[in-house]
Amino acid sequence: MENMKQMTDDMLVTLYLEGNNSAFDILLNRHKERLFNYIYFIVRSREVAEDIFQETFVKAIVTLQQGRYTNDGKFSAWITRIAHNLVIDQFRTERNENLISNDESEVDLLNNAKLVEGNVENRMVNEQVLKDVRALIDELPDCQREVVFMRYYQDLSFKEIADITGVSINTALGRMRYAILNMRRIATEKSVSLVME
């Protein structure tokens, strides 16, 4: 079992397909925290996130057993793509996507997260700013919130985001741009200052 933990995802998939259920347990344990956090961040409901998380792995098992998975070193992106599709299905049944503002000015709120080591007051102000940014992110339309989360919380490239969400890189970049514009608009409407000390 310890040797299996050192194996790549694709090696574990092959073992699982050969009948070794422990291999899938390792894959599940390897990806469960990141995948659940991704789902939960988007749906914002623990119960719904747990349902989608379980459905994701059920769908992955079925797809693997049907021989429709290609070992190409991208298991993590593949399983995230399944979760993404299930999240989209969930939102389609619940509500329509929010409209966005077409504000033309651009401010990059998230790339200016300089946390300065210093006095307690500065740290408290910085913590409040980050909390305010998170509250702004929560108000974004689903597709924009998803891109922001993947980019800044999972540190994925726009190419990876595009692959996982099934859109072009330009669409992913556009969603990020509109997310930043929307966050700026919401911050202005709510008189939220997003300046780090």
Class of domain 2-94: mainly alpha
Tell whether the model's pLDDT for residue 8 goes beyond 90: yes
Is 69 strand, coil or helix? coil
pLDDT in the model for residue 158: 86
More confident residue, 129 or 54: 54
Q: How far apart are CA 167 and CA 162, in angstroms?
A: 5
Tell whether the model's pLDDT for residue 1 goes beyond 50: yes
56-68 as b/e: b if 16+ CB within 10 A? bbeebeeebeeee
In the chain, where the domains are located: 2-94, 110-189
Q: What is the DSSP letter of 141?
A: -
**Is residue 35 a contact partner of residue 79, using CB atoms and an 8 Å limit?**
yes
Q: What is the average pLDDT score of the chain? A: 79
Identify the CATH number of the domain defined by range 110-189: 1.10.10.10
Identify the sign of the CA torsion 150, 32, 167, 87.
Answer: negative
More confident residue, 122 or 56: 56
Give the range among 20-29, 97-106, 160-169 with minimum mean pLDDT. Answer: 97-106
Q: What is the DSSP letter of 167?
A: S
Tell whether the model's pLDDT for residue 124 goes beyond 70: no
Place of tokens 């929307």: 182
